[in-house]
Amino acid sequence: MPKMKTRRSAKKRFKRTGTGKIMRRKAFLGHLMETKSGTRKRRLKRAVVVDGVDKRRVRDMLGE
């Protein structure tokens, strides 16, 4: 049985921390920035931990 290949799109979107958590970026930061307040843009810049319900799916996409 050959090795499973990593989904390259997932590899670009998710990062694993030193403690093993999977981090992701928030949505809605790509365009139409003039209408969004500075506070909202600052909060959207932060990375967040992937929810527990999606963790298994993300791990499978990363080939782990």
Domains of the chain: 8-61 (4.10.410.60)
Per-residue confidence of the chain (64 residues) as pLDDT tens digits?
888 889 999 999 999 999 999 999 999 999 999 999 999 999 999 999 999 999 999 999 998 8
CA distance to 15, 24, 41, per residue, from 44 (Å): 17, 11, 5
What is the Cα–Cα distance from 21 to 30, expressed in whole angstroms?
A: 25
What per-residue confidence (pLDDT) applies to 2?
86
pTM: 0.79
